[in-house]
Amino acid sequence: MRLKTSLFGQVYTFGSVKEVLAKANEEKSGDKLAGIAAETVTERVAAKEVLSHLTLEDLYNNPVVPYEEDEVTRIIYDDLNRVIYNEIKDFTVGEFREWLLDDHVTGDMIKRISRGLTSEMVAAVTKLMSNLDLVYAASKIRITAHCNTTIGEEGILGFRLQPNHTTDNLDGIMVSLMEGLTYGIGDAVIGLNPVNDTVESVYNVLKMFDEFKRKWEIPTQQCVLAHVTTQMEAIKKGAPSDMIFQSIAGSQKGNEAFGITADMLQEARELVLKQGTSAGPNVMYFETGQGSELSSDAHHGADQVTMEARCYGFAKRYQPFLVNTVVGFIGPEYLYDSKQVIRAGLEDHFMGKLTGIPMGVDACYTNHMKADQNDIENLAVLLSAAGCNYFMGVPAGDDIMLNYQCTGYHEAQTLRSLLKLKPIKAFEVWMEKMEFVKEGKLTNRAGDASVFMK
């Protein structure tokens, strides 16, 4: 295995596949913080050159965290389809990129191959792609899932309704919920980030969501994004939950920092399948984000793109309904500015799709990052063109509880109109019945929450 190359008369040598992966990554402040980034643009190009000649088998033989030390690695490898892997293991990473971008290679062909890929392979080919490559390749792949409704179908752009409140005040949550629905938000899920991670609070919010959803016959699913153990206790006490949420990481140590294990997530899935309120069979919701492993000193010296790809390989085990990267939420320590956030959003979406999971993106940023709303709108347009399953919907794009900015209620109709996309079909029919939309356009009822008070 050759881990050196020559550029402009200088020889670049890399000590391991892990180092090649890290230095081939596009510039990220998190990799710099970890001390693993390429020191110059030329070194980055040299690492990409070396990476392009590695085979998929080379990557299989060199996971960034050893199989014996990490349950995330074990899950990814144990779930691998060996027949398909053996068909493709001799591809170089460069050849794999060309295959993915070939006009004659279809989404179904890619979905089949994905069953033979490890996360390091997914990350590696991502590092050789331009932003446009990431958009085009992802646009080929449709990954669907079903909870109460079906997400991920062709021509559909969903939104999670995120009615967060600074004190979990039920009336305040309900006002945001009602307003969002009138704008066509909530077809992916009605999902609240709670301030109070208590069984009582989670129970009360879920009960309110369920009663409202049933009263108005809204075809969607609901979830409260508390810790998985809190949600499980609430469900055991009779809380009506359609799915279970948890933030996850790309290493066992990272998951331990979140207070979870693989067995715990399997127990949660089995619980909600037995005692949850949705049709299923896809009942799990996961959130990720580049840099989370570094923030908990759980990255094992690997770059944040590779660790993020491992999140998706881990998530796949649980057949989720929703997965999304909260791409700019962690802050400039990991993604410094709009250029890095946009790149990361396109990377994460493509990697999730290539892994074979129903992928959305929280196109977002924090106030201390060198980015603004225009940058996030740019990312949302690119991701919509790439076939992203869903975005977030927050009042005015400003989450006053989590203190970050993302896509707002108003962006949904604009993105759908611009790219000829629609809400999930059952939800669109409901919107027409409620007279929020007519012939694909919002009516003057949009934004009028009083509709639900009559």
pLDDT per residue, tens digit, the chain (454 aa), is: 779 888 888 999 999 999 999 999 999 999 999 999 999 999 999 999 999 999 999 999 999 999 999 999 999 999 999 999 999 999 999 999 999 999 999 999 999 999 999 999 999 999 999 999 999 999 999 999 999 999 999 999 999 999 999 999 999 999 999 999 999 999 999 999 999 999 999 999 999 999 999 999 999 999 999 999 999 999 999 999 999 999 999 999 999 999 999 999 999 999 999 999 999 999 999 999 999 999 999 999 999 999 999 999 999 999 999 999 999 998 899 999 999 999 999 999 999 999 999 999 999 999 899 999 999 999 999 999 999 999 999 999 999 999 999 999 999 999 999 999 999 999 999 999 999 999 999 999 999 999 998 7
Contacts of 411 (CB under 8 A, 6+ apart): 377, 380, 391, 393, 397
| This prediction's pTM | 0.97
Pairing of strands 10-13, 4-7: antiparallel
For the chain, what is the total number of helices (H) and then of strands (E)? 21, 16
Closest by CA position to 423, among listed 452, 391, 377, 450: 391
- The pair of structure tokens assigned to 237 is 């006490």
Measured CA angle at 334 (ends 328, 335), to 5 deg? 50
pLDDT value of residue 269: 98
- Rounded-to-integer distance, Cα 178 and Cα 173, Å: 9
> How many CA atoms lie within 13 Å of 173's alpha carbon, on the beta-carbon side?
24
- Rounded-to-integer distance, Cα 420 and Cα 19, Å: 43
Q: In what order do the strands lie in the sheet with 158-161?
A: 222-224, 189-192, 158-161, 390-393
Closest by CA position to 243, among listed 275, 215, 289, 203: 275
- Rounded-to-integer distance, Cα 442 and Cα 436, Å: 6
pLDDT value of residue 126: 98
CB 129 within 8 A of CB 350: yes
3-state secondary structure at position 260: coil
- Rounded-to-integer distance, Cα 114 and Cα 51, Å: 19
In one-letter notation, the amino acid at residue 111 is: K
- Rounded-to-integer distance, Cα 286 and Cα 325, Å: 9
CA distances from 136 to 77, 102, 130, 273 (A): 28, 10, 10, 35
Closest by CA position to 123, among listed 64, 74, 70: 64
Helices (H), 64-183: 71-78, 82-88, 93-101, 107-114, 119-127, 131-139, 170-182
CB 261 within 8 A of CB 255: yes
Contacts of 51 (CB under 8 A, 6+ apart): 20, 21, 24, 93, 124, 127, 128
- Rounded-to-integer distance, Cα 415 and Cα 381, Å: 7
Q: Is the peptide bond before 281 cis (omega within 30 degrees of 0)?
A: yes
- The residues that bridge with 246 in the sheet, in sequence order, are 286
- Rounded-to-integer distance, Cα 418 and Cα 391, Å: 15
Buried/exposed code over 235-248 (b: 16+ C-beta within 10 A; e: otherwise): beeebbbbbbbbbb
Residue 28 parent element (H or E): none
CA distances from 165 to 37, 176, 433 (A): 39, 9, 29
Contacts of 185 (CB under 8 A, 6+ apart): 159, 160, 161, 393, 409, 412
- The residues that bridge with 59 in the sheet, in sequence order, are none
- Rounded-to-integer distance, Cα 224 and Cα 230, Å: 10
Closest by CA position to 87, among listed 55, 65, 48, 63: 55
- The pair of structure tokens assigned to 214 is 């049933």
